[in-house]
Amino acid sequence: MRKTLIVMGLVTLLAGGVRAAGTELDTDLMQTIEDTNLSLTSNIALKNAKSSKAEAAELHRMFTQVESHFVAKGDAADAVDLSKKSKDWAGEIVQSVDSQQFEHAQELAGNISRACKTCHNFYKKS
């Protein structure tokens, strides 16, 4: 498990790329999103309902902030849409874990991880 976590961390680091300059999105928030998302993914795999729910709820809250950022920024309809979807998926993970549907929760976590990359491709200058 430890090894898997390290590998996943490296993959995300590589995918994250170089710090972008000139955008005002809080990078601390993004770092916390990254840590929480990694931990959530392994907690879902471990069927740790308590931590999965807490972390999914945390992601839901943080994606609400990301959404507000892009709404305020303007001219970023796709980013607003991606943060809204990620927020909804995080909320759905809470419900899935509540009803012990860990497989579905895992699919939703996969959707969130793909949304990170999609948004970074368009909105994160490297």
**What is the contact surface with ligand HEC in residues (CB under 6 A)?**
12, 16, 19-20, 23, 25, 27, 30-31, 33-34, 37, 66, 70, 79, 82-83, 86, 112, 115-116, 119-120, 123-124
Shorter beta-carbon distance to ligand HEC: residue 11 or 100: 11
Phi, psi of 3 (to 5 degrees): -60, -45
Pick from 125, 117, 122: which is nearest to 33 by CA?
A: 117
100's tokens = 């012990």
Shorter beta-carbon distance to ligand HEC: residue 11 or 46: 11
Shorter beta-carbon distance to ligand HEC: residue 48 or 118: 118
Shorter beta-carbon distance to ligand HEC: residue 22 or 99: 22
From residue 19, how far is each of 23, 62, 68, 84 by CA, in Å?
A: 10, 20, 21, 23
Torsion angle in degrees (nearest 10) through CA of 82, 118, 101, 31: -90
Using a 10 angstrom Cβ sphere, with 0-12 exposed, 13-18 middle and 19 or more buried, the burial of residue 81 is: middle
Minimum separation from the CB atom of position 51 to ligand HEC (A): 16
Minimum separation from the CB atom of position 111 to ligand HEC (A): 10
Minimum separation from the CB atom of position 41 to ligand HEC (A): 9
Minimum separation from the CB atom of position 123 to ligand HEC (A): 4
